[in-house]
Structure 1
Amino acid sequence: MATNLYQSLADEMADAIRSGRLPVGARLPSLRGLATQRSLSLNTVIAAYRQLEDAGLVLPRPKAGFVVSPRLPEPTQSLRQAPSPPSAPAQQAMMARVLAAQQQPGIVDLAFAGPRGKRFYPGAQLARSTAQVLRRAATTVETYARPNGAARLLAQIVQRGPRLGLHTTVDRLVLTHGAMEALQLALRVVTKPGDAVAIEAPSYFNIYPLLRSLGLRAIELPTHPRDGLDLDALEALLEAGGIAAIMAMPTVHNPLGGSMPVPNKQRLAALVNHYQVPLIEDAVYAELQFKEPLEPLAKSFDRDGWIMVCSGFSKTLAPDYRIGWLDGGRFAADIQLLKFHSSGAESRLLGDAVAAFLEAGNYEHHLRGLRRLYSDQVAHVRGLIAQHFPSGTSATQPTGGFLLWVELPAAIDAGDLFEQALAEGVVFMPGQVYSRGARYRHCLRLSCCQELDARFVGAIATVGRLANALQARAAG
């Protein structure tokens, strides 16, 4: 079976579905009938229909073949303006509940944003790179690592940077213990206790405890599910003054999954340079964009070094190696000194092992496969949500990564849904952990970075069934 035959057929039918020429509920031609009509093999048609099913565009119906799936709309506005009194203790309590639930044996974890399985990481190849480095420099493990001692890895980060519009140098970089340390170092260099930091809403849940630990105040700004940070609101805040820094994920946002349009990134960079307020750009998912060539970071439009970039290899290559990096812009020298005083240096062995993998040219091939895989999996999970969740549900259409933000009908409390799902062995991330208030009480985040096997599909169906019951109860 020629790959281009089934792919061409799948693309043609997908276009008909998305354009409305094949409406929701329409029955597709039978497998044998379409094979005869198009003079194709049965296997070719089966493969095309399977791809449409995996993309969430069609559903199998007993004794009826395949029908076009229900449409799942995207959220259309930021919920930041909804009344929501601050409630940090409730946010912390819910996060603690999620973490405890994830430790339960037999749980189906739809919450953890950590890929699991051999399809997602090149473990065997990375192990060979690590063994090779160790054989050639056995004394490395007997020597204290020096700050930025993994010169090979720094060189690779510099070399790869232009793919994202990042034209950096070794002296602007510092290796960190994961991207979270990079975020912390960037904050510590440009803020002091009591300062205010502008963040997106919803925002990555670990930002809140990080800011609290440094004695900083979070000011939440509206963030559109598709277009990102509201730049008009940000400009008004900058004009008013009193903001020490901004934290944002302009490229593949967590939890929303979207990316700011390139003109918006240009405006964002212009704003921070004009007002001379540092932007900490979290780019941990940027290399997992579905579009190729990759769209640039906001940093690519930085004129005077006011943007710092935090990233790493945990989401794409080596989670346990905990290798992050930070381009410190105009603050690079202070960040490097702070890193030394805080935690010394990162492992040269692990840094050289990752560098060896990158030098061999394996990383780009791995990333291309990963992007295709996550694009397919996100589409599949959107299809499952459309099939199982209540009418009125919407979900983001990510531009990269493996996270889906789901907005349920307003009558459904995601906290109640969380508890009911947990009782049936399923855990997801409730929307309440992504803000200090309750405006996201009817929202949740799902991770699509594991095998979409029968347990996973069954877990999505379970959450959908429970959500339908909660909606029926609220209506009754």
Structure 2
Amino acid sequence: MMQVDTLYQQLADDFALAISHGSLPPGSRLPSVRKTAQSRRLSLNTVLTAYRMLEDRGLVVVRPQSGYYVRSHLPMLPAGKSCAAPGQAQGPAGEVLDLIGAALLAQQTPGYINLALACPKGGDFYPSNKLARIMGQVLRQNPGMVSSYALPPGSERLRTQIARRSVELGMSLQAENIVLTHGCMEALQLSLRAICVRGDAVGIESPTYFNLLPLFSSLGLKAVEIPTDPQTGLSLDALEQLLIDGQLQAIVAMPNVHNPLGCSMPLENKRRLAGLLKRYQIPLIEDALYAELQFTEAFAPAVKAFDEEGWVLICASYTKTLAPDFRIGWVEGGRFTEQIRKLKFSYSVAESMVLSETLGLFLESGGYDHHLRQLKRRYAIQVDKVRALIAEHFPQGTSATQPAGGFLFWVELPASCDSVKLFHRAIAEKISISPGPLYSPSGRHTSALRLSCCQPLDESYIQALVRLGEMAQDIMDEAAGV
């Protein structure tokens, strides 16, 4: 029999889905507590708890003596709203790299309220105590591990668990083909080194993960921006034309829970993308860093699941879900696995056996799935709360993505609001944000920004978000001569 907490959570999720799909539009009244209890055959307390959960998530408001009403919500970015055409192959602009440096500096400065942090902050987001106990167990049973060099291929236990979990994303990876890395960034770097040479043109999403840009610069690679839809991801029509014209040597993309958009590519698009890779024999580096944070119970598959000839290299890590300081990532390189294995040995040899075994034992214990369920539910609630705050406190005309998972979303301000100007004003008040041009090698997306909600939504966070909305309105008023 279902537990009571599952019943009220399920009821809240059902109403949240109806609200997001428009079946319950803004201003509409929810059925009374008594009516819902009767129609769903639930207790009054269960229904009341579900309605209060919706209120906590910012989806409904209660009106005394009247009931619960759907709150005015933040419009989603419409399908088809992306950069108009692919960009020219180019290295990241100097001013974009400077802006990235300024944003990173602000994020690292004590005393700032960080509204763009992509690193979950606080012990509530990680199973730190359990990992500490497991690490103690590893060291007690193998005290000589800390005085021995870790050697390739690294922890078999962890690689086996990664391979076992790959089934959840529709893949069938083998432990012997998985290379452990120092976080996902090293996995991306090794993959790019394995498939590219200086001067190559690499297709990227626009907007894209901003840390790719300094990485491209250091490797001497040129980026080609490909239009990316806020609901469906990478434009495959634009990509195919680039492939027909022979303009790309590789592609980097994040098809599941995109950073910064939060969207996931539809299943049929993933199949088509895999087919394009096979037809044109072009490698794709699939960044799956957030793939396990999809809000759906059953995960949407990776593009790698449809890869028949090894053209997809897939990368991920456990920094966002388990242990950021461990910096344990991995890559399965398809037909490029041997090159990646050699590059890993030449650059950093292997990953810590103590840390890898700790993660492997945690994954073996079965606690990871329970942890993920709790984490995803919390992020889904926090995304709703922050979107409700933006709807209430940001200028009229603001819209944002509705993430398919994780804790990041993309906010589009009205065109007259310059997000770089907003960034500098926010920094002056010790509020850190990530303006849109950070996510484009050519500095596009001038009225957009990325926000995150992977920290406690305390009063300081809420006040900073409200103040950011006020500053955005001030910039618009100045542009209008008000």
TM-score (norm 2): 0.91
Change (3 A) 1:452 1:274: same
Q: Answer with 35-44 or 268-277: which moved more.
A: 35-44
Matched residue type, 1:55: R
The CA distance in 2 between the partners of 1:313 and 1:78, in whole Å, is 32
Is 1:360 the equivalent of 2:365? yes
Matched residue type, 1:188: R
| Contact 1:397/1:404 (<8 A) preserved | yes
Change (3 A) 1:55 1:275: same
Pick one of 71, 74, 84 that aligns with 1:72. 74
The CA distance in 2 between the partners of 1:140 and 1:388, in whole Å, is 54
Shift of 1:10: 4.1
Pick one of 407, 411, 415 that aligns with 1:406. 411
Pick one of 20, 23, 26 that aligns with 1:24. 26
The CA distance in 2 between the partners of 1:276 and 1:5, in whole Å, is 49
The CA distance in 1 between the partners of 2:196 and 2:85, in whole Å, is 29
Gaps of at least 5 residues in structure 2 are none
In the alignment, which residue of structure 1 is the partner of 2:382?
A: 377
Change (3 A) 1:220 1:348: same
Look up the SS of the partner of 1:397 in the other structure: coil
Pick one of 122, 135, 139 that aligns with 1:130. 135
Pick one of 217, 238, 244 that aligns with 1:233. 238
| Contact 1:69/1:386 (<8 A) preserved | no
Counterparts of 1:45-60 in structure 2, within 5 Å, are: 47-59=49-61
The CA distance in 2 between the partners of 1:15 and 1:217, in whole Å, is 41
| Contact 2:74/2:387 (<8 A) preserved | yes
In the alignment, which residue of structure 2 is the partner of 1:339?
A: 344
Change (3 A) 1:168 1:45: closer
| Contact 1:113/1:449 (<8 A) preserved | yes
Shift of 1:437: 2.7
Counterparts of 1:235-274 in structure 2, within 5 Å, are: 235-274=240-279
Shift of 1:451: 0.7
Deviations 1:121-141 (A, max 9, x none): 000001111111111111111
| Contact 1:248/1:279 (<8 A) preserved | yes
Q: Answer with 63-72 or 390-399: which moved more.
A: 63-72
In the alignment, which residue of structure 2 is the partner of 1:442?
A: 447
In the alignment, which residue of structure 2 is the partner of 1:94?
A: 99
Matched residue type, 1:80: C
TM-score (norm 1): 0.92
Is 1:394 the equivalent of 2:399? yes
The CA distance in 1 between the partners of 2:448 and 2:208, in whole Å, is 13
Deviations 1:81-139 (A, max 9, x none): 27999871221121121122123332111111000112210000011111111111111
In the alignment, which residue of structure 2 is the partner of 1:328?
A: 333
Look up the SS of the partner of 1:200 in the other structure: strand
The CA distance in 2 between the partners of 1:16 and 1:441, in whole Å, is 33
Shift of 1:470: 2.1
Shift of 1:170: 2.1
Shift of 1:13: 5.4
Gaps of at least 5 residues in structure 1 are none
Pick one of 285, 295, 308 that aligns with 2:300. 295
In the alignment, which residue of structure 2 is the partner of 1:464?
A: 469
Task: Count how many residue pairs are aligned between Structure 1 and Structure 2.
Answer: 473
| Contact 2:82/2:230 (<8 A) preserved | no
Shift of 1:422: 2.2
| Contact 2:33/2:48 (<8 A) preserved | no
Counterparts of 1:5-24 in structure 2, within 5 Å, are: 6-7=8-9, 10=12, 14=16, 17=19, 23-24=25-26
C-alpha RMSD of the superposition: 2.6
Shift of 1:415: 1.2
Shift of 1:187: 0.5
Q: Answer with 351-360 or 412-421: which moved more.
A: 412-421
Deviations 1:43-97 (A, max 9, x none): 6565334312233222467999865322211112343227999871221121121
Q: Answer with 211-220 or 458-467: which moved more.
A: 458-467
Deviations 1:291-327 (A, max 9, x none): 1211110000001001000111111111000000000
The CA distance in 2 between the partners of 1:465 and 1:329, in whole Å, is 49
Q: Answer with 320-329 or 90-99: which moved more.
A: 90-99
Q: Answer with 190-199 or 76-85: which moved more.
A: 76-85
Deviations 1:362-390 (A, max 9, x none): 11111111111111111111111111111
Matched residue type, 1:52: L
| Contact 2:249/2:282 (<8 A) preserved | yes
The CA distance in 1 between the partners of 2:60 and 2:399, in whole Å, is 18
Deviations 1:378-434 (A, max 9, x none): 111111111111111110011111101000001001111112222223111111100
Change (3 A) 1:197 1:19: closer
In the alignment, which residue of structure 1 is the partner of 2:115?
A: 110
Change (3 A) 1:127 1:278: same
In the alignment, which residue of structure 2 is the partner of 1:121?
A: 126
The CA distance in 1 between the partners of 2:266 and 2:185, in whole Å, is 25
The CA distance in 2 between the partners of 1:368 and 1:318, in whole Å, is 17
| Contact 2:315/2:330 (<8 A) preserved | yes
Deviations 1:239-290 (A, max 9, x none): 1114211100011100000010011001101111111111100000001111
The CA distance in 2 between the partners of 1:304 and 1:13, in whole Å, is 43
Look up the SS of the partner of 1:243 in the other structure: coil
Matched residue type, 1:359: E
Pick one of 155, 164, 170 that aligns with 1:159. 164
Pick one of 72, 81, 84 that aligns with 1:81. 84
The CA distance in 2 between the partners of 1:6 and 1:59, in whole Å, is 18
The CA distance in 2 between the partners of 1:286 and 1:428, in whole Å, is 24
The CA distance in 1 between the partners of 2:23 and 2:187, in whole Å, is 49
Look up the SS of the partner of 2:475 in the other structure: helix
Matched residue type, 2:109: Q
Pick one of 218, 226, 229 that aligns with 1:221. 226
Shift of 1:8: 6.7
The CA distance in 1 between the partners of 2:107 and 2:305, in whole Å, is 38
Shift of 1:460: 1.4
| Contact 2:178/2:332 (<8 A) preserved | yes
Matched residue type, 1:234: L
Look up the SS of the partner of 1:74 in the other structure: coil
Change (3 A) 1:82 1:384: farther
Change (3 A) 1:112 1:38: closer
Change (3 A) 1:15 1:343: closer
Look up the SS of the partner of 2:259 in the other structure: coil
